[in-house]
């Protein structure tokens, strides 16, 4: 009898959980799949109920779907309800390190008064263990020690674990906190993040390893991301991976061809619902044939001519390759354009 009672109590608790928690999570999932309009509907409904976080994300989806004037109103609503991320966005170029703000030309109600309020909000969140807020403070409100060379590198390395455990992942994406003296820590945590399927981490780690001439490790990093059908890894493969394999004669000839590079890029495009990022002209040698009014394409490795029909088949195969997978854009308050301004976003 007691077990039955406990079961029903748990069931009631589950059914009475605040719906905004579930729905907000659903909205963020759709957002990270690039489904801005679907996410917008969820955020709007929650914003109408007074959810400040939803109002902030509503502003972002409005911004991404050409509702730029409405975005300013939603940001103001979120800021007035206490959301520090909205406050920071409405501080515009008054925010430290923000040099290019959307406030400058979109007519949003931006004001310097939001700077201190945003920082206060982040301080409160950081005390509660919010890693994104910890990163925001490091970026926008530097402590005295951050201005001391080498010592600051040491401190960044010491706090890396805390940021990682509290999901302050943008700290590791951001190269401004890392140097020769503490790069080992960054590589360690980017490796963990990449192993968990973080495509941005794979991308960042790939370039660090390439720069350090750890070519095999760099290739392995991207290839692991490809297995997860990660869009960032697939885009990196289309350019960086193919380039390394050609330069260092690694792998079979088929793995180095322009067709393979075009395949990876098309797979990423398919995941993201894009149609114009992967242009054949960027992957193949080409010449313009005036007789037919079209380009002729040639593989850079094999030299063979590649027809429009073959390109169409590559795109089809790429689409099938990622069928059933969803992209993860790794969008959060620290990685969207609002945080750093449009010239410095992730």
- Encode pLDDT of 283-314 as tens digits: 999 998 887 778 899 999 999 999 999 999 99
In this predicted structure, what is the pLDDT of residue 119? Answer: 98
- Dihedral of CA 191/322/269/36: which sign? negative
Question: Which of 12-26, 90-104, 146-160 has the lowest average pLDDT?
Answer: 12-26
What is the pLDDT at residue 345? 67
Question: pLDDT tens across 263-289, in order?
Answer: 999 999 999 887 678 999 999 999 988
Cα 93 to Cα 110: distance, rounded to the nearest angstrom: 9
Q: What is the DSSP letter of 287?
A: E
Element (H, E) at 305: strand 305-306
- CA pair distance 5, 175, nearest whole angstrom: 54
Average pLDDT over residues 188-198: 95
Cα 122 from Cα 131, distance rounded (Å): 10
Mean pLDDT computed over 119-129? 98
For the cut 50, the answer to whether the pLDDT of residue 132 exceeds it is yes
Lowest mean pLDDT among 4-8, 220-224, 321-325, 341-345: 4-8
- How many whole angstroms separate alpha carbon 218 and alpha carbon 220? 5
257 neighbors 301 (Cβ within 8 angstroms): yes
Percent of all residues in the chain with a pLDDT value above 70, rounded to a whole number: 92
């Amino acid at each position: 009898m007691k077990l039955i009672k406990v079961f029903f109590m748990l069931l009631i608790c589950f059914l009475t959980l605040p719906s905004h928690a579930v729905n907000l999570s659903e909205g963020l999932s759709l957002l990270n799949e690039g489904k801005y309009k679907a996410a917008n509907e969820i955020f709007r409904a929650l914003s109408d109920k007074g959810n400040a976080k939803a109002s902030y994300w509503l502003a972002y989806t409005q911004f991404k779907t050409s509702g730029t004037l409405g975005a300013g109103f939603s940001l103001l609503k979120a800021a007035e309800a206490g959301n520090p991320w909205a406050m920071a966005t409405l501080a515009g170029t008054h925010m430290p390190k923000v040099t290019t703000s959307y406030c400058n030309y979109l007519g949003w109600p931006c004001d310097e008064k939001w700077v201190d309020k945003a920082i206060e909000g982040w301080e409160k969140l950081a005390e509660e263990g919010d890693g994104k807020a910890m990163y925001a403070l490091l970026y926008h409100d530097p402590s005295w020690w951050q201005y001391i060379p080498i010592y600051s590198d040491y401190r960044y390395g010491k706090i890396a674990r805390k940021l990682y455990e509290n999901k302050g992942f943008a700290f590791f994406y951001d190269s401004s906190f890392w140097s020769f003296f503490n790069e080992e820590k960054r590589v360690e945590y980017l490796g963990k993040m990449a192993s968990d399927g973080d495509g941005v981490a794979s991308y960042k780690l790939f370039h660090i390893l390439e720069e350090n001439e750890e070519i095999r490790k760099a290739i392995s990093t991207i290839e692991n991301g490809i297995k997860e059908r990660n869009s960032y890894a697939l885009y990196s493969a289309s350019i960086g991976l193919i380039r390394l394999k050609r330069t260092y004669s690694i792998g079979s000839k088929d793995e180095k061809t322009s067709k393979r590079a075009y395949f990876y890029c098309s797979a990423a495009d398919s995941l993201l619902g894009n149609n114009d990022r992967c242009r054949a002209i960027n992957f193949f040698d080409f010449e313009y044939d005036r007789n037919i009014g079209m380009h002729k394409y040639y593989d850079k490795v094999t030299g063979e001519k590649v027809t429009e029909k073959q390109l169409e088949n590559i795109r089809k195969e790429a689409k099938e390759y990622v069928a059933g997978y969803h992209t993860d854009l790794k969008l959060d308050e620290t990685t969207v354009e609002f945080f750093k301004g449009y010239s410095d976003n992730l």
